[in-house]
Chain A
Amino acid sequence: MLEEYEASGDLGLRVRGSDISAALASAVQGIVSALLSPDTIRGTESRVVEVEGRDTEEAVVNFLNEVLFLIFGSRWLPKHLETIRLRRGCQLSARLVGEPIDFTRHHIEREIKAVTYHNLSISEDQSGVTIDFLCDL
């Protein structure tokens, strides 16, 4: 589940999945969808992202910011999250499938400066994990 919520001049995303891996897969989809049509991205190669934080919140923020770095720093677009593993509650290791940006096919709508800690929320109940996060545009 992925939905956008009111967030002043910026982008607020609420994602939900059966576990944190599924929720983060939706988070990657949410970020990509805010930038361009995901249908234009081909899954021709993969990239590994490994981050850690002092807690799960920090690991999630660091992971999503590394996804932004892949896009805006390395000019590489993720199509989807293939695997992701959270260890010790603060280490994330993920494999993303996608391709390098091709400006003949990929029209990037906007920049996202960063995923922030502000009003960040990770909650778990019987039906799964929900993450609320804000992107500074």
Chain B
Amino acid sequence: MSPKNTIPLEQIDAWRVRVPKGAVPGMRTDGIIHVSSRLLAHVREDNTPVQVANVATLPGIVGSSLAMPDIHWGYGFPIGGVAAFDIEEGIISPGGVGYDINCGVNLMRTDLFLPDVKPIVERVIDTLFDNIPAGVGTGGPIRLSKKEIDKVMVQGARWVVEHGYGWEIDLAHMEGSGYLKGADPDMVSDKARQRGEDQLGTLGSGNHFVEVQVVEEIYDEQIAKVFGLAKNQICVMIHSGSRGFGYRICEDYLAVMQDAVREYGISLPDRQLACAPLESKQGKRYFKAMCAAANYGWANRLVLVHWARKAFSDVFDQKPEQLGMRLIYDVTHNIARMETHLVNGRPRKLCVHRKGATRSLPAGHSDVPEVYRHIGAPVLIPGDMGRASYLLVGAEKAVTETFASTCHGAGRFQSRHAAIRATKGRHIDEELRAERGIIVRARGRHTLAEEYPEAYKNVDEVVETAHQAGLSHKVLRLRPLGAVKG
């Protein structure tokens, strides 16, 4: 675990603390962490404020180095970190996106209610478990030729729809229609392609999951109605990313950036922050490859939606359309995007890095899909497999304070090691079933111990902070009925 925080933190208001410029040498701006006083105690327990400060040393940073309420220790950049860079003077960093490029979450509604699913939830979870390939060490059922993988890189979720694994209407319910402009397959290595050729539609391991959830509490009835959701309604949430394809692209370009750092004389406090000027050849190449991985990530999650629809269809003996299995939204939380933001009253084009942070766009924003323009873009916050997840919408204050960003999850509280120690001799699957009625299936022998609920911060606290701080607006809380882990 990282060492305990030693740098000073200044309280700004109830929801923000400042990491003052000068806290580490070379800081070009302050850091600001959005946390409640209770969550701040977790932040003080590890070294994440130093990571926020380190990001503030990078060239061309605009505004503050930001952290969301679920901040926790990462590689170089903290997880829950947001940083915006000027497109002419700033940098782009693979470490600011993470290895799992376009790791993200989607949420699908159904017309089913708790009484339809509760009595057969074990069968539902087992069928999902059988239908959803983890792809760990092996591939999934979709094999992509060289030509087809190029198309996935460029088209993203559109490829999935054109090949019968998704619905046309799904695209209108995904961030950016499940696609990021700018991908260039020529910027992707043969090794990355090899990793990606049979992993489309696979879940992965670690904290990736498919969960069957029930709407437990509604905070904004009107907006919930727009999503077609009511109390006790059943939803499916999926968390995955761009799989080995994205990991390899990140790794390839971290190596490229080690050279770039020397070439452009960039001084770094941590090699994992390796970066290149956005306008450099290395920066442009990484952005094009990252877009390709982002598109693979959206395609991957939409194929996973297809497998989930198939599983429900098998169990309930009805077509997914008859079960009302419509995608509510799909968000990424690991990405760098070119966006325009008002800075000191002037619109500026920036490259916004979000590593474990979700875009939070309020009603009326031009980047919100048309179907949701009147309510704001949905924000999906998964918690842990034993407590809750949330559906929120974007809020105005995020636009002015966080480059339109909010949290992405609960945030880890215990290390894997500590989680395994804490659960020694326990059977997490049996405990979840007996104490909370939650059915879980995992392929890895240690996954459930490493991912047991208390290894994470309480998502209620994190989401309440995001809501109270005005970074996003709570709509409803979902409780897990069962989960499939990789």
Contact = CB atoms under 8 A, between A and B. Distances in A.
B415 A8 contact: yes
Interface string A1-20: 00011111111000000000
Contact of B1 (A7, A71, A72, A106): A7
Contacts of A118: 75-76, 270-272
Interface residues of B, number: 46
Interface stretch (A25-33, A109-117, A124-132): A109-117
B244 to A, nearest CB: 6
Contact of A116 (B75, B137, B191, B412): B75
Contacts of B76: 117-118
A9 B455 CA distance: 9
Interface in A8-63: 8-11, 35, 53-54, 57-58, 62
B137 A71 contact: yes
Contacts of B272: 116-118
B99 A113 contact: yes
Contacts, number: 110
Given A58-B255, A103-B138, A118-B272, A111 B446 contact: no
Contacts of B450: 9
A73 B455 CA distance: 30
A75 B1 CA distance: 31
A10 B271 CA distance: 18
B251 A120 contact: no
B105 interface: no
B137 A72 contact: yes
B72 interface: yes
Nearest to B243: A111
B444 A109 contact: yes
Tier of interface size on chain A:
35 or more
Contacts of A7: 1, 415-417
B100 interface: yes
Interface of A: 4-11, 35, 53-54, 57-58, 62, 65, 69, 71-75, 101, 103, 106, 108-111, 113-114, 116-118, 120, 134, 136-137
Interface of B: 1-2, 46, 72-76, 99-100, 136-138, 191, 194-195, 204-207, 244, 247-248, 250-251, 254-255, 258-259, 262, 270-272, 274, 412, 415-418, 444-447, 450, 455, 486
